[in-house]
């Protein structure tokens, strides 16, 4: 079944920011170490509701005037066990709005043209 993720990020510039699950839970060199979008099915970038999308394509989170983004994401491609588990991978907040693969930019079908990486965190389970 679907997995629910409760997201709360502070310190952002107001407005939309791409929010993705990336391949690696490695923050050794900051968020760049997290690799590309998690994409076990070798698809192009898309919106969370699209059939053709990276498993890690979670759309946008929107920061309010105080720089706080809070959202509940329910997704069928975020698995907590098995070979495509998201545990040990990283969530990344991007600088710009994700165009959901529909922007016509050369990066639209790989990254959603969402810009640089502002913040990241490794997915873990707590008892």
pLDDT in tens, 78-126: 999 998 899 999 999 999 999 999 999 999 999 999 999 999 999 988 7
**What's residue 18's pLDDT?**
98
Is 94 marked active-site? yes
Please say if 26 is a catalytic residue: no
What pLDDT, on a 0 to 100 scale, did the predictor assign at position 126? 79
Decide if 45 is catalytic.
Answer: yes
Q: Which long-range contacts (CB under 8 A, 24 or more apart) does 105-109 make?
A: 108/45, 109/44, 109/45
Active site residue 37: yes
127 has a pLDDT exceeding 80:
no
pTM of the model: 0.93
Considering the candidates 17, 26, 53, 57, report the single residue annotated as catalytic.
Answer: 57
Q: Which pLDDT score, from 0 to 100, does residue 76 have?
A: 93
- Which has the closest alpha carbon to 80: 1, 26, 16? 1
Look at domain 3-122 and name its CATH class. mainly beta
Catalytic entry in 17, 53, 89, 94: 94
Convert the pLDDT of each residue in 2-42 to its tens digit: 999 999 999 999 999 999 999 999 999 999 999 999 999 99
Active-site option among 17, 53, 89, 117: 117
Res 83: pLDDT: 87
Active site residue 105: no
20, 53, 89, 98: which one is catalytic? Answer: 20
Tell me the pLDDT tens digit for each residue of 55-73.
Answer: 999 999 999 999 999 999 9
């Amino acid at each position: 079944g679907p997995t629910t993720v409760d997201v709360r990020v502070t310190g952002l510039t107001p407005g939309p920011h791409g929010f993705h699950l990336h391949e690696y839970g490695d923050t050794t060199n900051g968020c760049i170490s997290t690799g590309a979008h998690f994409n076990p099915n070798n698809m192009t970038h898309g919106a969370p509701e699209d059939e053709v999308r990276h498993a890690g394509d979670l759309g946008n989170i929107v920061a309010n005037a105080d720089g706080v983004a809070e959202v509940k994401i329910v997704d069928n491609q975020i698995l907590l066990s098995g070979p495509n588990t998201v545990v040990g991978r990283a969530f990344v907040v991007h600088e710009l709005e994700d165009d959901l693969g529909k922007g016509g930019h050369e990066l639209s079908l790989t990254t959603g043209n969402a810009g640089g990486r502002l913040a990241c965190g490794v997915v873990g389970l707590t008892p």
